[in-house]
Amino acid sequence: MEVVVDNKVLAFVADFKKPETISDVRKQAMDALSGMDFPTTRVEEWKYTRVAKYVKKKYKQVQASANVGEYTIADLNAHQLVFVNGYYDERLSTVLEDDAVSIHKIDDLNEEYYADIVDGTSENVFSLINKAYQTGGVFIQIKKNKKANHPIHLMHILDGEEVIANARHFIQSETGSKAEVVATYHSKNSENSFTNIVLEGHIEENASLTINKFQTEAKNVLHISNELFIQDESSNFLINTITTGALLTRNGLDVIVEGENCHTEMNGAYLGTEKQHIDNHTIIDQLYSHCTSSEAYKGVMDDKSVGVFNGKVIVRQDAQKIAAYQSNKNILLSKTASVNSKPELEIYADDVRCSHGSTIGELDEEAMFYLQSRGISAASARQLLIAAFIGDILDKVQNEALRANIDKLFLEDFGWKF
């Protein structure tokens, strides 16, 4: 990050609330912020994403209530944990009977354990703002050698204008455990508001964790997420990220693989309209041998929307026998839409099988002509081709209730049927 000249970051957080008790994590984050600045396009990782106009605004931390019925997923049968403007609302939350799952407030996370897990990892200014001024969140434990009886639904709601939501979560998947987490993001009357989320986790030996993330905030919201997951030996991690909302979205996802025989899978579908800007930044850092990873992101951009994909796979010198696949494919539905795509491989080992690729193009004119020649309207032909394009990403969401909810939203918002 660049050196502070006029303390823009400190001015940004000046009105944020400080708790009476300041933990080590908060203190370290606050201290770090005094030496940081907001990223500009001169910073390589933010080359295509400008945040300057957003960080000049003043946001407030405000507790509010919400009608969770608007956002509840039918038939999900999940632990439902509700966060309104970044505050954990236990009254609106529902925790089901489940001996495999233990849910605590984020402040109950053992700081010595956490410091050991994240030792050596990097932070950016937004994750530090979150950790310094978080107003709520949960620490979730999936018990050793147990499978969660229900999914865990983290429901985030922005309600009000010029609000910032700093929710922070940590998931500990203990040895041999298995669980699914659903993270959804919504907004109401949220002009110029900001979701600033941190979601981290530790997937221990032989554990399996699936995360389905669905972002549907209104197109007047800034959404920045920082996600970090550490994998131990023989663990499995799958995350599906589907983005249709927010005016500007920045999804930062880092996975550090700290054991052999691990599998990591990242899938993403992002759909931009109007003047939306959707940025997906991912890193898979392979430290040990005999691991596999698969990464597939697809974007459909219309109107004046902009997509960004920067995915990096790092294979360290001692990490032999690595198989890594990375792909980013995009369709532009208008002449004014654009995508900046940069898949990367950084390989220091010599016995690996790694591939990456990127495509950006328009809908196939021959396919459109073929479908129309069979009596299908142009609008229906376009819908069929788009559905076929991103359908394989949506199929990675195997939770039937969530998938039905996603399909319903796509039909209502875009007229696309899957």
> In this predicted model, what pLDDT tens digit does every residue of 202-222 receive, in sequence order?
999 999 999 999 999 999 999
- Do residues 194 and 159 lie in contact, with contact meaning Cβ atoms separated by under 8 Å? no
Query: CA-CA distance, 382 to 223, in Å (whole number)?
Result: 29
For the whole model, what pTM was predicted? 0.95
* Structure-token pair, residue 33: 């912020």
Burial 125-158 (b: 16+ CB within 10 A, else e): bbbbbbbbbbbbbbbbbbbeebebebbbbbbbbb
Q: Which pLDDT belongs to residue 6?
A: 67
- Residue 65 in tokens: 């209530």
pLDDT of residue 1: 42
Strand 248-257 relative to strand 277-286, pairing:
parallel
Helix or strand or coil: residue 62?
A: coil
**Pairing outcome for strands 101-105 and 138-142:** antiparallel
Q: Among residues 92, 118, 340, 329, which one has the least CA distance to residue 226?
A: 118
Parts of the chain with a pLDDT under 70? 1-6
Q: How far apart are CA 163 and CA 60, in angstroms?
A: 5
pLDDT in tens, 42-81: 999 999 999 999 999 999 999 999 999 999 999 999 999 9
Sheet architecture: strand order including 352-361 = 87-94, 79-84, 152-159, 178-188, 208-215, 236-243, 263-272, 292-301, 322-332, 352-361
